[in-house]
Amino acid sequence: FKEEYTFLLYLNPNFTPGYLGGTVYYEHDDLSSIVTSVQNKYGRVALFHCEIKHAARPPHAYTTDARYTFAVKVARDKLDAVQREMMSSIISSDGDDELPEELVELTREADFNADLLEEKFVEMFDEHITSRLEELSDALINAANE
């Protein structure tokens, strides 16, 4: 996921610099060290690498306007995008950013074809959800019968 970027579009036509509501960018994982910021200005676009830590800042207290932005993750190609979506759909117990072996194997099986990989992942995910729902249903029936 080295070539994934975040595209951020600011959508508040009435915001002025005093309204705040911009985005701050941090030095690596040090959330106490702000490197730079982008002010919320209607139509402004911020494009930055996905690994850059960032945070939205709230609008100033004297305004009642909400902060509106449109954010999109942009990948180098569809295979990267599908793998990223697969990663975000699976909760990793160790918090590791590496692709789980199960997904690496799916990628190999799909011969690195993004469309086929997406299809295989949806099948795998559907099977997992169906199995989990059956387990929960059985547990509820057993609990009701006790």
pTM of the predicted structure, to 2 decimals: 0.59
Residue 79's pLDDT is 76
Q: Is pLDDT above 80 for 16?
A: yes
Residue 30, token pair as written in the block: 């040090």
Residue in the block written with tokens 């030095």:
27
- Pick 17 or 97 by higher pLDDT: 17
CA distances from 101 to 55, 87, 130 (A): 31, 11, 22
Percent of the chain scoring above 70 in pLDDT: 88
For the segment 54-109, what is each residue's pLDDT rounded down to a tens digit?
999 999 888 888 899 999 888 887 777 777 777 666 544 445 555 567 777 777 77
CB 145 within 8 A of CB 109: no
For the segment 31-46, what is each residue's pLDDT rounded down to a tens digit?
889 999 999 999 999 9
Question: What are the CB-based long-range contacts (under 8 Å, 24+) for 32-41?
Answer: 38/8, 40/10, 40/12, 40/15, 40/67, 40/69, 41/10, 41/15, 41/17
